[in-house]
């Protein structure tokens, strides 16, 4: 044999057999993994201000031995919650071990260190059954103890020597009567964890608790609690963002005023204004963005390659839940239906988005406002607006109360539409549908605010004779009428009627609908003669072209009956209302809004004819139906409630 060689092996033991003919120097693992360089002490220095908004969950955890998983969005305060649980165990004299699980090296090294704390020797650990040994020793502990496994986002690492979901990984169920295991993670997928641990979602803080958390950091100089609450809402109750904002304000207020920059807000109000104007970025150093990017990288590593573009798309919508049905995969680049659903599920499990489908509601997906801000791009916004507008254009039933649950979800996204010259027609349709829905759903002032700029732009952008230009101006008149501004409505409608006669002819369908609207405006301004003349001309054409029971004919007959009533002929009005009501019930249905309006007015005519008992019965029936169909707070429901109160015998 040749000269002997002294081989040197350094680094932590890995239970690995190495066989070679000639080794001069070998390092097993990284020096950071050496047992004497692993700490399992909790990061007590990170525990500062009081933990807000988690007391109920914390009490449940303290009272429930076993394995519990705290999952949620990065920055939501999972580690802070676990640290508070560690503090309470320490106060009771119970042992606490804290294992970092960002990577396999720290996880396995930490678990080995815990085993050593429990009396395991190097020879025990060298046997290659560290996980089994660790949990056997934990099972035998009779008193309270806490093991925290922090930042366990990659569940594959928790498999360790076995399989996490089967109870053979690094984290396992145990039989210790007072032992508590807390795992913090972004991943709340029940399939990955299996049936053994209890999963607890950790969400953002509510308004009051968020304000308290912010005030704890910012101090008294930043302003009043109600101002802190407004900032907390803007930051979406995310504890890390609240902590960042509070530290910023506290830092500014530590300096004398003359040493502060003009662009450095020192109060809650100034901070909120700076964030709103874009002069101040909440995530100034990019901490939150890096945390969330780690989650996206993890989703992509699991095969959800669409996760990042889908998140960007969701960020393009308004700050409101997005109905899943408007996410058309055919119009989203490089996304398949299966890929879209998989990405949504992955984003939900990692806390970046929240899928909701509870109590029979329409399924939606929601983003935290700061996640939305961090991923919003102009291209994503354009695609989101296109999808929302196409959904509105395909439905086009904002007036139907049965469709209102969908339209109430779609509305915030449509209100962001600002069609201009060159915009495709479906963007105009979406924006106009939003205004129409607001007016019909009982918010005419909001409907007017939404439609007025559209009515001003459409004739220039589309042409005065374009159907959408006319629709926009018609919606403006309707919103004015429903807002009680009849004189303005009549003036606007007179101009619109002249243009319709020029562009569509005196008896064209568009002109007839506009003349009917003019009659309503004339009636509301007290000009009964002009209203009767306009209604008569419209009814004659409708009956000739469409028949006496068409909904347009019936609506006009209903309004002529109202004029009879105004002329002091409640008996004549009652007879006409009854005839219209019978036809509307057959053609529109007993609970169509128009049918209910006719029935309401019939009750009024009955009361004026002295038939109080029958009038009360009609009002009660209409009130019940309107409450169910339109909602208890709708202005038409409230009108029926008022008339019933006035009619009830005293």
Query: Looking at the structure, do residues 192 and 169 belong to the same domain, yes or no?
Result: yes
Shared domain check, 197 and 62: yes
Closest CA to 383 of 340, 347, 427: 427
As a whole number of angstroms, the distance between CA 580 and CA 594 comes to 10
Could you give the number of structural domains in the chain? 3
Phi, psi of 68 (to 5 degrees): -125, 140
Q: Is the pLDDT of residue 495 over 50?
A: yes
One domain, residues 24 and 144: no
Pair 553, 628 in one domain: yes
- Is residue 43 in some structural domain? yes
Token code pair at residue 548: 């006496």
- Domain co-membership, 579 together with 643: yes
Please tell me the predicted confidence (pLDDT) of residue 360: 56
> Does the pLDDT at position 572 exceed 80?
yes
Q: Give, as one character, the DSSP assignment of residue 171.
A: S
| 467 in a structural domain | no
pLDDT, position 168: 94
Between the CA of residue 318 and those of 266, 384, 426, 443, what are the distances in Å? 29, 9, 18, 20
* Number of neighbours of residue 10 by Cβ within 10 angstroms: 11
In a domain, 136, yes or no: yes
Flag whether 578 is in a domain.
Answer: yes
Q: Is residue 561 part of a domain?
A: yes
Range of the domain at 196: 38-201
- Mean pLDDT of the 204-221 span: 95
What is the dihedral sign for C-alpha 205, 208, 211, 216?
negative
Task: Compute the mean pLDDT over every residue in the chain, rounded to the nearest whole number.
Answer: 90
Domain of residue 628, CATH code: 1.25.40.10
Q: Are residues 14 and 159 in the same domain?
A: no
For 589-620, the pLDDT digits (tens) are 999 999 999 999 999 999 999 999 999 999 99
Asked whether residue 542 is assigned to any structural domain, the reply reads no
For the chain, how far is it from start to end, CA to CA, in angstroms?
121
Q: What is the token pair recorded at 641? A: 């409630």
* Separation CA 169–CA 155 (nearest Å): 10
Chain-centroid distance of CA 35 in Å reads 46
Measured distance CA(370)–CA(500) in Å, rounded:
48
Domain with residue 168: its CATH number is 3.40.50.300
Residue 501 in any domain: the answer is no
Q: Using the predicted structure, report yes or no on whether residue 32 has a pLDDT greater than 60.
A: no
Boundary of a domain, candidates 158, 185, 201:
201
| SS3 assignment for 522-585 | HHHCCCHHHHHHHHHHHHHHHHHHHCCCCHHHHHHHHHHHHHHHHCCCHHHHHHHHHHHHHHHH
Single residue among 182, 201, 220 that ends a domain in this structure: 201
Residues 10 and 63 in one domain: no
d(CA 117, CA 530): 94
What is the structure's pLDDT at 242? 94
pLDDT of residue 24: 42
* Phi then psi dihedrals of residue 106, to 5 deg: -70, -35
pTM for this structure?
A: 0.79
Judgement on whether residues 141 and 76 belong to the same structural domain of the protein: yes
Residue pair 593/401 in contact (Cβ under 8 Å)? The answer is: yes
Cα dihedral 631, 632, 637, 643 in deg (nearest 10): 170
Tokens of 148: 């925290």
CB 131 within 8 A of CB 161: yes
**pLDDT at residue 26, as a whole number:** 44
Are 51 and 25 found together in one domain? no
**C-alpha closest to that of 44 among 82, 94, 93:** 82
Which residues does 309 contact at the CB level (< 8 Å), separation at least 6?
332, 333, 334, 335
Residue matched to tokens 């429903």: 482
In the 3-class helix/strand/coil scheme, how is 541-557 assigned residue by residue?
HHHHHHCCCCHHHHHHH
CA 513/CA 547 separation, integer angstroms: 16
75 and 113 assigned to the same domain: yes
pLDDT, tens digit (0-9, with 9 covering 90-100), for 331-386: 999 899 999 999 999 999 888 999 987 545 689 999 999 999 999 999 999 999 99
Is 195 in the same domain as 46? yes
Which of 134, 168, 201 terminates a domain? The answer is 201
Q: Return the pLDDT at 497.
A: 94
Q: How many CA atoms lie within 13 A of 368 on its CB side?
A: 29
Asked whether the predicted pLDDT for residue 8 surpasses 50, the reply is no
The answer on pLDDT for 318 being more than 90 is yes
- Residue 480 is assigned to a structural domain of this protein: no
Task: Tell whether 42 and 118 lie within a shared domain.
Answer: yes
């Amino acid at each position: 044999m040749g000269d002997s060689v002294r081989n040197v092996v350094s680094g932590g033991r890995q239970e690995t057999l190495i066989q070679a003919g000639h080794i001069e120097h070998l390092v097993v693992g990284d020096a950071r993994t050496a047992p004497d360089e692993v700490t399992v002490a909790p990061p007590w220095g990170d525990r500062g201000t009081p933990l807000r908004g988690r007391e109920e969950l914390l009490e449940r955890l303290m009272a429930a031995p076993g394995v519990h998983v705290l999952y949620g969005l990065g920055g939501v305060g999972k580690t802070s919650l676990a640290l508070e649980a560690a503090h309470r165990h320490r106060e009771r004299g119970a042992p606490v071990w804290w294992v970092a699980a960002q990577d396999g090296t720290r996880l396995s090294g930490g678990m080995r260190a815990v085993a050593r704390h429990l009396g395991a020797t190097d020879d025990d650990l060298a046997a290659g059954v560290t996980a089994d040994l660790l949990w056997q020793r934990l099972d035998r502990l009779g008193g309270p103890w806490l093991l925290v496994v922090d930042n366990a986002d990659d569940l594959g690492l928790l498999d360790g020597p076995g399989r996490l979901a089967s109870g053979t990984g690094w984290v396992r169920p145990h039989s210790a009567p007072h032992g508590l295991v807390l795992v913090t993670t972004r991943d709340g997928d029940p399939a990955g964890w299996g049936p053994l641990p209890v999963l607890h979602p950790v969400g953002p803080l509510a308004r009051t608790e968020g304000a308290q958390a912010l005030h704890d950091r910012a101090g008294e100089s930043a302003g009043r609690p109600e101002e802190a609450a407004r900032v907390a809402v803007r930051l979406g109750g995310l504890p890390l963002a609240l902590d960042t904002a509070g530290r910023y304000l506290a830092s500014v207020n530590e300096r004398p005023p003359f040493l502060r920059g003009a662009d450095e807000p020192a109060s809650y109000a100034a901070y909120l204004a700076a964030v709103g104007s874009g002069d101040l970025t909440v995530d100034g150093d990019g901490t939150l963005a890096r945390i969330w990017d780690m989650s996206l990288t993890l989703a992509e590593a699991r095969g959800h390659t669409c996760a990042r573009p889908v998140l960007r798309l969701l960020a393009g919508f308004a700050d409101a839940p997005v109905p899943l049905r408007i996410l058309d995969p055919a119009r989203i680049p490089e996304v398949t239906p299966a890929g879209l659903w998989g990405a949504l599920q992955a984003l939900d499990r990692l806390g970046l988005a929240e899928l909701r489908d509870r109590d029979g509601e329409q399924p939606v997906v929601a983003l935290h406002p700061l996640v939305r801000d961090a991923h919003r791009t102009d291209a994503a916004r354009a695609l989101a607006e296109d999808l929302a507008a196409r959904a509105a254009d395909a439905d086009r039933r904002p007036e139907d109360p049965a469709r209102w649950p969908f339209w109430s979800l779609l509305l915030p996204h449509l209100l962001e539409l600002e069609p201009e010259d060159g915009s495709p027609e479906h963007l105009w349709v979406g924006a106009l549908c939003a205004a129409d829905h607001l007016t019909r759903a009982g918010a005419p002032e909001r409907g007017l605010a939404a439609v007025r700029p559209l009515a001003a732009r459409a004739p220039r952008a589309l042409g005065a004779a374009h159907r959408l230009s006319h629709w926009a101006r018609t919606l403006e008149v309707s919103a004015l009428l429903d807002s009680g501004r009849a004189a303005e409505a009549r003036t606007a409608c007179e101009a619109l009627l002249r243009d319709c006669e020029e562009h569509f002819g005196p008896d064209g369908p568009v002109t007839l609908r506009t003349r009917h609207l003019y009659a309503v405006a004339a009636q509301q301004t007290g000009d009964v003669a002009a209203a009767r003349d306009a209604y008569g001309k419209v009814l004659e054409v409708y009956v000739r072209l469409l028949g006496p029971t068409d909904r347009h004919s019936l609506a006009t007959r209903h309004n002529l009956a109202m004029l009879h009533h105004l002329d002091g002929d409640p008996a004549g009005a009652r007879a006409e209302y009854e005839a219209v009501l019978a036809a509307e019930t057959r053609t529109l249905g007993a609970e169509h809004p128009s049918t209910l309006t006719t029935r309401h007015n019939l009750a009024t005519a009955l009361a004026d004819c002295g038939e109080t008992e029958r009038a009360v019965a009609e009002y009660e029936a209409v009130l019940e139906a309107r409450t169910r169909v339109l909602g208890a707070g709708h202005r038409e429901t409230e009108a029926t409630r008022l008339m019933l109160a006035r009619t009830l015998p005293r």
